[in-house]
Amino acid sequence: MSHLYLEITKLKKNYGLKPVLRGVNLAIEQGQRVALLGANGAGKTTLLRILAGLAEPDGGQVCIDGLDSVHDAQQIRRLVGFVAHQPYLYDDLTVMENLLFFGRMYVVKQRKERAMMLLERVGLLKRAHERASVLSRGQAQRLALARALLHSPRLLLLDEPDTGLDEEGIALLEAILNEHAGDGGTVLFTTHQLEHALQWSDHIALLSGGRMASMRETRDVEAGSVRQAYQEALR
Amino acid sequence: MIFFEQTLAILWKDIRCELRSKQTWMGMGMFALLVLVIFNFAFDLRVDNKAAIAPGALWVAFVFASLLGLGRTITAEREKGLMDRLLLCPVDRKAIYLAKLLGNLLFIGVVEVVALPVFAGLFDVPLFGALLPIVLLGTLGVAAIGTLFSAMAAATQARELLLPVLVFPLIVPVVISAVRATGDLMVAAPNQPPWLGLMVAFDVIFLSASMLTFEFVIKE
């Protein structure tokens, strides 16, 4: 029996006087892959930042694996792997040094072996000793993906991870998401590519105006209806 | 143990990035040397007024050069989104502060090692061994406050303007103590307050306060 891995209750977040999240509710079970859709400014990135522990909510509660996001922030950080829409790498460090540094931060055992294995997985092993600054946008995004997997997180949060990836990179990303969910991991990702949302997820959630407008199983929805709901959310 | 391993890892990363980019050290070093040269030409340095002017010139060069470096260490990381990446990790925020502080001390220290012989040559003053604790304590005070406030200023748009405005008033006691203690080395004056003791007290208070408040300054 699967258990509730991520539970968001009445989550609120304001930037100054502007409310961004106005009481978001969301429940995700272990092993689920959820695509979070929404227009620009709907609050997707803010929601992911709160889940990753980068921002504190102004109201409501987030529980990840039974841990409270505010009180147990350090423990939650060990459970979460985060990929942003930008790679955010240390340009002056090599590909391998980037991974080894974050391996130390997450206290990863046998980090060099783990880093090499992940570099091979994302197709960057041959470039391990080149500086991150010389990588193309897509290669940097692959490295960011490897970094997010370094500490074997149970929850993967991905904010538009398909940005800048070529076809091969997109296929790699899909395979990694499937593997992660297959191993019992949970995935929450945002994307503006509806095809990717339909292909990679088993649930689709729609965030609109700072509230969760809908959450449905992907197999129950048709591409046309998702597109229509998405277009309505954009208006 | 993990705390110190993570602290050293962040410090190692900062040093390695700086050695490869050479952005901060070069700028700070050049700035300190220029200040010393300008002061040397701007003031009338006779034997009788040397002790009054030279310590001030030295510490103005150190403090201004330090602020250049302090402004870069956290700001550059924040601008590139890398501070967020670091904050995502299960790292004690005190470890991040300590690593940034040690990095700043090292960067400023290198600049001081280069600037001190130039200062001694230009102002025709001998370098005393006793100058070492004064420079160490003065630099620690400036770096402790500067590291905290550079994190605070990095989150604002007017960060270059805000950092000196926030830092200068707070470092006045340690800078005055350092200038006076340096002056006492050149011409011993009777009945002086214990400048070194004042610097130690200042460093302990502001280092502790900065360590404790960094977590609140750095989070969104």
> Cβ contacts (< 8 Å) between B80 and chain A: which residues?
88, 91
CA distance A49 to chain B (A): 9
Expressed as residue numbers, the domain containing B147 is 2-218
- Pick from B62, B203, B218, B61: nearest CA to B149: B218
In the prediction, which pLDDT does A178 show? 93
Q: Which residue has the tokens 């001390």?
A: B105
**Which residues, including other chains, have CB under 8 Å from residue B20's CB and lie 6 or more apart?**
A92, A131
> Which domains can be identified in chain A, with CATH numbers?
4-234 (3.40.50.300)
pLDDT in tens, A214-229: 888 888 777 677 777 7
Best probe of the B interface among A92, A96, A163, by most B CBs < 10 A, is A92
Can you tell me the distance from the alpha carbon of A99 to that of A78, in angstroms, rounded to the nearest whole number?
A: 16
ipTM: 0.90
Task: Check CB contact of A53 with chain B, cutoff 8 Å.
Answer: yes
Can you tell me the distance from the alpha carbon of B193 to that of A99, in angstroms, rounded to the nearest whole number?
A: 52
Task: Check CB contact of A194 with chain B, cutoff 8 Å.
Answer: no
> Cβ contacts (< 8 Å) between A102 and chain B: which residues?
85, 89
Nearest CA in chain B to A86: B81
Cα separations in angstroms, A221 against A152, A177, A187, A208: 31, 20, 19, 18
Can you tell me the distance from the alpha carbon of B134 to that of B42, in angstroms, rounded to the nearest whole number?
A: 25
Successive 10-residue mean pLDDT values, chain B, 220 residues: 94 93 84 88 73 87 90 84 94 96 94 90 81 94 95 85 91 94 83 88 96 89
DSSP conformation class of A157: E
pLDDT in tens, B122-142: 888 877 788 899 999 999 999
Q: Which residue has the tokens 């260490």?
A: B73
* Residue A145: pLDDT over 60: yes
CA distance A83 to chain B (A): 10
Task: Check CB contact of B1 with chain A, cutoff 8 Å.
Answer: no
Among A74, A80, A88, beta carbon nearest to B82: A88
Can you tell me the distance from the alpha carbon of A231 to that of B2, in angstroms, rounded to the nearest whole number?
A: 49
- Mean pLDDT across chain A, nearest whole number? 92
- Pick from A70, A63, A76, A118: nearest CA to A96: A118
CA distance B159 to chain A (A): 19
SS3 B96: helix
* Residue A57: pLDDT over 90: yes
Task: Check CB contact of B88 with chain A, cutoff 8 Å.
Answer: yes
Domain count, chain B: 1
